[in-house]
Chain A
C-alpha cells in the first residue's frame, strides 16, 4: 500500500473553506460551549479571507456547520442587503454550495451581527452571532486572567456597579448593547452587540445560539430552552428600547425594533430594522401570498 492511496486527491479548496481539522476543532469547542452554557471556550480561530473584526468568528462557526442542503441567511445591522452581509452570504454559496436566502423562516443557519430576527426561530435553526468583545467583565477587570478567575468564582458583583454608575449619572440604564446577562444561573455573558430589545429573545428559546469572537478566540453558546436573565436591580426593572409605539414609514407596521432616520427638519422617520421582515410586510400588502412567521414581540410587548 502506498501513502498516496491513503490520502485524498488534491483539491484547490476543502468543502466549506476550512480544512477538516479546523472544523473538527471548532465542532468540539461548540459541543463544549453547549455543554457549559455561557462558558467561554477558547479556540484556535483560523485565518479566513476577511479582516478580524468583520465577523471572522461567526464565519468560522457557520463554515463548520455548512452542508450542501443548508439554507443560509446573513444579517448585518438587521439588514440582509448590506455589503458585508451580501459578501458573507455569497462566500457561503461559493465555498459550500448552500442555498442563500433572506427569509428567516426558510433559513437553517442564520449568521448575524447586531440583531436577532423579529420572527421566532425554531428548534431546527441555528443562530450564529458575531462577537467583537466576549468578555463582560472587561470594563471592571482589565486583567484577563483575573477575569477568568472571577468567572470561575461567579464573582459578578462588580457588573452591577456599571449599572449603578449609569443610573447615578443618567437616571436610567444606558447599556444599549452587550447587556450583561446571566445564562443558566451560572455564567454571565456579553450577548454580542444585540440591542436590549433582542436579549429577551434568547431566554428559553427553541433555537441554539452560538456566539463566536474571532479576534478574541472565544466560543460560547446559549442552548435551546436555557434561562438568559439580563442583570437588573431588584427595584429597577429591565427595560427595552422605547420602540413599542414607533411605526415603520414604509410598511406601517408598529411595535418592532426600528432604525431611526433623522430628517432635515429635525424630526425622525422610522423603518423596520429587520429588513426582510419589512419586505415581507410590503409584499403582503401588495397582495402576494407571503407567510409571515410568529413573532417574539406582539403589539410591542415581549410575548411570554
Chain B
C-alpha cells in the first residue's frame, strides 16, 4: 500500500459514516420513564438517521420495549423530548401533541410491527381490510384506491396477494407478520418500528421474514428501529446498535464494532454468550 492510499484510508476512518452526516430522522433526548418505583428507562438519548436501521438489544426488562412504545407515542415519559424530521413538524416536541394530533401522526408517519400479531391485526377481518384500515384511519375513502394500495403494500411485503381476502386467523405466524408489515408500510411511514418482529417464528421462516425486511429497506430506504433480544437478528439487519441494560444505554456504535470489539462488560458477555 502506498503512503497516499494509507493516508486516505486513515482519513476515512476519522469521518463519521456517510449515513450519519444527514440530519437525523428521529431524535429523542433525556428520556426517563418510571412505573412507580421502577425506573424502566432513565436518561436515554436516541438518534436515528434517515435510511438506517438502528438495532436496540438487551435482556428482558432492560427498557427496550418501553422505549419503542414511547417512539410509537403509546406512552409518555416523565422527562425527555421527541422529534421526528417531518416537514413542518421539525420543531415540535411530539410528547406535547394532544391526542388528536398524536393519532393522526401515528397513523400517517409511524409504522409498527408487534411481536404478537394479535396486537397489530384484526383477526376476524380480511388481510387486505387490515391494511386498508390504516388508510381509512388516515382518511382515504375511495374503495378502488384502498383496494389497489392494500394489494401493492401486501405485494411489497412479499405476501401472496391471492390470499389478500382471507383472514389473518387462517395464516401461519410468518404470514401474519407480513400482513402486519404491509399495514405498517402502507402509508410510507417516516419511521418503521419493529418490536421483536421474528421472535417466536421458526428459524427458516425467520430468515425469510428478515429477507423481506432487508429487501424493503434496500428498495425504499425506510428508517427502521428494530428491537430484539436476538443478536443474530440484530447482526443481520442493523447498521448501528444500542445495547440497553436496566433502563440505560451501556454501549452504542456501528454493528460491526459492537460485535467484533465490544467494550462494555455486559456487551462482551452478550456477544460471547452461547447456549
A binding-site residues for B, Cβ under 8 Å: 140, 153, 155, 157-158, 160-161, 164-165, 167-169, 233-236
Contact = CB atoms under 8 A, between A and B. Distances in A.
Given A158-B133, A158-B136, A160-B136, A167 B143 contact: yes
Contact of B136 (A153, A161, A168): A161
Give chain A's interface secondary structure class: helix
B150 to A, nearest CB: 9
Contacts of B145: 235
A286 to B, nearest CB: 49
Contacts of A164: 129, 132, 136, 143, 146
A136 B199 CA distance: 37
Contacts of A165: 125-126, 129
Contacts of B147: 168
Contacts of A236: 143
B128 interface: yes
A22 B6 CA distance: 92
B165 interface: yes
B103 interface: yes
Given A168-B165, A233-B142, A158 B137 contact: yes
Contact of A233 (B103, B129, B133, B143): B143
Contact of A153 (B103, B126, B141): B103
A140 B132 CA distance: 14
Interface of B: 99-100, 103, 122, 125-126, 128-129, 132-133, 136-139, 141-147, 165
18 contacts: A155-B103, A157-B133, A157-B136, A157-B137, A157-B139, A158-B137, A160-B141, A161-B125, A161-B136, A164-B132, A164-B136, A164-B146, A165-B126, A168-B128, A234-B142, A234-B143, A235-B142, A235-B145
A158 B133 CA distance: 6
Contacts of B142: 233-235
Given A161-B122, A161-B132, A168-B126, 11 more contacts: A155-B137, A157-B133, A157-B137, A157-B139, A161-B133, A164-B129, A164-B132, A165-B126, A168-B129, A233-B143, A235-B143
Q: In terms of DSSP, what is the predominant structure of the interface of chain B?
A: helix
Given A161-B129, A164-B129, A164-B143, A169 B165 contact: yes
Task: Output the residue of A153, A158, A160, A167 with the most chain B CB within 10 A.
Answer: A160
Contacts of A233: 141-143, 146
Contacts of B128: 168
Contacts, number: 50
B135 to A, nearest CB: 9
Nearest to B146: A164
Contacts of A153: 99-100, 103
Contacts of A160: 136, 141
A168 B139 CA distance: 19
Given A153-B100, A161-B125, A235 B133 contact: no
A153 B107 CA distance: 14
Contacts of A167: 143
Nearest to A236: B143
Nearest to B125: A165
With a 10 A CB-CB cut-off, give which of B128, B136, B137 has the most chain A CB atoms: B136
Contacts of B139: 157
A235 B141 CA distance: 8
B249 to A, nearest CB: 35
A157 to B, nearest CB: 4
A234 B129 contact: no
A29 B103 CA distance: 31
B153 to A, nearest CB: 15
Nearest to B141: A234
Nearest to A139: B124
Contacts of A157: 133, 136-139
A165 B122 CA distance: 12
A301 B20 CA distance: 64
A122 B147 CA distance: 43
A158 B103 CA distance: 14
Nearest to B165: A168
A243 B143 CA distance: 26
Nearest to B100: A153
A155 B139 CA distance: 10
Top 10 nearest A-B pairs by Cβ distance? A157-B137, A233-B143, A157-B136, A234-B142, A160-B136, A234-B141, A236-B143, A161-B133, A165-B129, A235-B142
B140 to A, nearest CB: 9
A140 B122 CA distance: 9
A157 B139 CA distance: 7
A160 B139 CA distance: 10
Contacts of B103: 153, 155
Contacts of B146: 164, 233
